[in-house]
Amino acid sequence: MKPALWLGVLLLCALAQSDTTARTYLTLNGRAESAWFICDGLQTPTLTVIGNPNRANQVRITRFSKRKPASYSSQIYALGQPDPGAGQIYYGLSLGGKEVGFVHAANPGMLENPDLAFTQPIVSLKLPGGETECRWAPGTRFFGFSNRRSVLVRQDSSGNLTYQSFNFNTPGGSSTPSLQIKGGKSVAGGFAFQNEGYVYTVRSAGNQARVTVRKGGKLLLSEPFVAFTVAGPR
């Protein structure tokens, strides 16, 4: 096997072993494809989707602005070998043979509660424009973003579910939930939460997902996700 092809196989194996339950999808121009992970920037108003590495060890990185979420830009990077150490894992990102950034993940075994690492803990991302901390939470069952907001559904060690949304047009929307609802329940294809007569439902089917809001049985909102990750307990 050629060295480049062998490295690609090793990278794919490393990524697969790091998370055996999560699935991530991105939809662009009506076409959905699987991806590696989503980085919802906490210090910067950006959302970044990193595609799965191909056999040439390349990943497509697509960036969205929370100020203009309908627009996006993409760039192909070479992905380096995983470089583990002291509970951290770094994957270098290169352009034209020069390393210009990295993907920073934590080793799930080093977390306070490794059993709640339903998604790979990608904690930061560095690109030529700078480094940003990625939103990651233990017990993530669903995370996705639409053109208006990010939505996170978490499960604690007792199985309790919490819904959080982060509206893009709200000051501090990257760090403070615009809405938080506890005490949700699992429903077919997703989760449902009730709050002051409103029912918030997050559902996924194959490579598509959306959030809906109803009151008194009347549909008030139906919002598709541009990209999302869904995961179940290990």
The phi, psi pair for 64, rounded to 5°, reads: -120, 145
**Which pLDDT score is estimated for 111?**
84
The share of the chain scoring above pLDDT 90, in percent, equals 75
pLDDT one-digit tens code per residue, 140-194: 999 999 999 999 999 999 999 999 999 998 765 567 899 999 999 999 999 999 9
What average pLDDT does range 215-220 have in this prediction?
Answer: 96
User: By C-alpha distance, which of 176, 174, 177 is closest to 43?
Assistant: 174
What average pLDDT does range 62-86 have in this prediction?
Answer: 91
How much is the mean pLDDT over the chain?
89
What is the model's pTM? Answer: 0.89
- Return d(Cα 13, Cα 234) in angstroms, integer: 18
Q: What are 27's two structure tokens?
A: 């939809």
Q: Which of the four pLDDT bands, split at 50, 70 and 90, describes residue 9?
A: very low
Query: With 70 as the cut, is the pLDDT of residue 18 above it?
Result: no
What average pLDDT does range 43-62 have in this prediction?
Answer: 94
**Which pLDDT score is estimated for 232?**
87
Beta sheet of 185-187, edge-to-edge order: 185-187, 190-195, 198-205, 208-215, 218-224
**Which pLDDT score is estimated for 17?**
39
- Terminal Cα-to-Cα distance of the chain (whole angstroms): 33
- Return d(Cα 73, Cα 15) in angstroms, integer: 24
Query: With 50 as the cut, is the pLDDT of residue 29 above it?
Result: yes
